[in-house]
Structure 1
């Protein structure tokens, strides 16, 4: 498919399908971006805030380098028994190791001043989960992670923005602490990125998502022309919510309602097929064949 260019800046971006979706589902990573170094907050304060958002927790580690919390209402099952997943907060470090390629930087639609933030924030705090990929209910993990995110925003008022490693989506701290998103919709809203590309030298466009693999759910992909891309982006978010709500019920060969004049219509059916992604990282996605608006070839 060659090169792609971004809608607004028209900067040519290089496709690289050698880049893999590394360890999907294993560890969820958030980068809390800071302008200046900040020390690890007090253990008592961190524990109090975690329990406010996540219920009773065990603070099993707290020193200069790392703090660890086990939210007791969640369980991971092992042969030897069950135990809570772990939520880890690392010490603040210099941000010169935070590498983002041009594609990632071009798709931060939810943070208008993303380039300014990335330039000004020279430090970051890494927050992760551990063993949470073994949680039986993926929605429990999603809720836990979003409660964790909100707790971190309270712990770190110095934070300028949060970058989610799995999707390269970014939100300012203000956007997170002031959001009005329903609880069940938070994971997709904050951590799943719906991306848009123009295909260089053609009238073709591509919309895809990135970030669903954290929950072992499929991302989606649309390769098309002749339709307002904003309609397709809205359709993608609706489809992702359906996949999330219903534990990925769509099989290859099945159809879903399409879009006519910006509205979802049962009169227009689009065929679904699991395919290899057209844009990095390499992964299997649910490809949506938009009928007369479809571009490219499908298996």
Structure 2
């Protein structure tokens, strides 16, 4: 298992945001009464917060407003727009954004993954209620999220934060391009998850051919959720496949798509698996 990393979320705006620190604190205190401003000022100053409970003792959450730097629109940004299956409108909204508030946790990597994710979600929700944004770039899962969809669901998922928009993103890639005339069912496809690794949990991937990717994506999403909730993709050494009585084995491997990381690779049965596995 790889070490947890900084967790980052970027709120994107067409117009310059004006978040109110006092309002944000008031909203956070409804969920976390021990939250406090890092600089001791409840009304002005930096948007940085700490908690006094022992579980959160060393952690900090910092929100930094700034103009949106075009240099930060990297390959991950472009890929996220291409893979915006859950919010296609992102492709129209995001290019118009000129400002951002970047939210990151500091010294929080030792926290339990669910608590850590939930705290980030609470920070995001509190800022959105003070300064509504036009789009969310969930950097840690390489996904664009509708602010309305996030706010509509986040409070109801307090016990299961991994189900909230942005927590786990399922991607699809075509690995091999064939010339015209070749049976499309033989095309190699990769489906993987992004979003778990920054929290110290392995993501999942499946490299296959001759299967509809729309059947594999839900399987990987369930496996990713199981990893988050229980630490395992399944009770044994195989997961239920896409047909009754079918079981696909899994093991740790290096990821086939960036970002480079160790993932749980789920292998289809027989001729439907793809790639070299020793």
Give TM-score, length-normalised by structure 1: 0.80
The C-alpha deviation readout for 1:215-246, integer Å capped at 9, x for no partner, is 21111111111222111110011111111111
Q: 2:214 aligns with which of 230, 253, 264?
A: 230
5+ residue gaps, structure 2, are 179-186
Q: 1:94 aligns with which of 68, 78, 91?
A: 68
**Structure 1 pair 231–65 and aligned structure 2 pair: CA distance change class (3 A):** farther
Residues 53 and 151, structure 1, Cα contact 8 Å, conserved in 2? no
Residues 64 and 91, structure 1, Cα contact 8 Å, conserved in 2? no
The C-alpha deviation readout for 1:139-174, integer Å capped at 9, x for no partner, is 2212222222222221212x0111111121111111
Give how far 1:188 is off. Answer: 4.6
Q: Which residue of 2 aligns with 1:10?
A: none
Tell me, in whole angstroms, the C-alpha distance in 2 between the residues paired with 1:73 and 1:249: 31
Give how far 1:56 is off. Answer: 2.7
5 Å-filtered alignment, 1:114-193, equals: 114-135=90-111, 137-157=112-132, 159-179=133-153, 182-189=157-164, 190-193=166-169
Tell me, in whole angstroms, the C-alpha distance in 1 between the residues paired with 2:88 and 2:32: 30
Residues 176 and 189, structure 2, Cα contact 8 Å, conserved in 1? no
Q: 1:257 aligns with which of 240, 251, 256?
A: 240
Indicate the structure with greater strand content: 1
Tell me, in whole angstroms, the C-alpha distance in 1 between the residues paired with 2:45 and 2:172: 38
Give how far 1:74 is off. Answer: 5.6
Give how far 1:65 is off. Answer: 6.8
Give how far 1:250 is off. Answer: 6.2
Tell me, in whole angstroms, the C-alpha distance in 1 between the residues paired with 2:44 and 2:232: 41
Tell me, in whole angstroms, the C-alpha distance in 1 between the residues paired with 2:25 and 2:45: 16
Where 1:259 maps in the other structure, the secondary structure is coil
Q: Which residue of 2 aligns with 1:196?
A: 172
Tell me, in whole angstroms, the C-alpha distance in 1 between the residues paired with 2:160 and 2:55: 22
Residues 1:278 and 2:256 are matched in the alignment? yes
Where 2:248 maps in the other structure, the secondary structure is strand
Residues 258 and 290, structure 1, Cα contact 8 Å, conserved in 2? yes
5 Å-filtered alignment, 1:1-80, equals: 25-39=4-18, 41-61=19-39, 66-73=46-53, 75-76=55-56
Where 2:249 maps in the other structure, the secondary structure is strand
Segment of structure 1 superposing worse, 224-233 or 50-59: 50-59
Give how far 1:95 is off. Answer: 3.8
**Structure 1 pair 160–69 and aligned structure 2 pair: CA distance change class (3 A):** same
The C-alpha deviation readout for 1:11-37, integer Å capped at 9, x for no partner, is xxxxxxxxxxxx962211111000011
Residues 36 and 51, structure 2, Cα contact 8 Å, conserved in 1? yes
Q: What is the root-mean-square deviation of aligned Cα atoms in Å? A: 2.4
Tell me, in whole angstroms, the C-alpha distance in 2 between the residues paired with 1:233 and 1:198: 14
Give TM-score, length-normalised by structure 2: 0.85
Tell me, in whole angstroms, the C-alpha distance in 1 between the residues paired with 2:71 and 2:131: 21
**Structure 1 pair 110–94 and aligned structure 2 pair: CA distance change class (3 A):** same
Where 1:201 maps in the other structure, the secondary structure is coil
May I ask how many residue pairs the two structures share in their alignment?
262
Give how far 1:54 is off. Answer: 2.8
5+ residue gaps, structure 1, are 1-22, 77-82
Residues 1:245 and 2:229 are matched in the alignment? yes
Q: Which residue of 2 aligns with 1:298?
A: 277
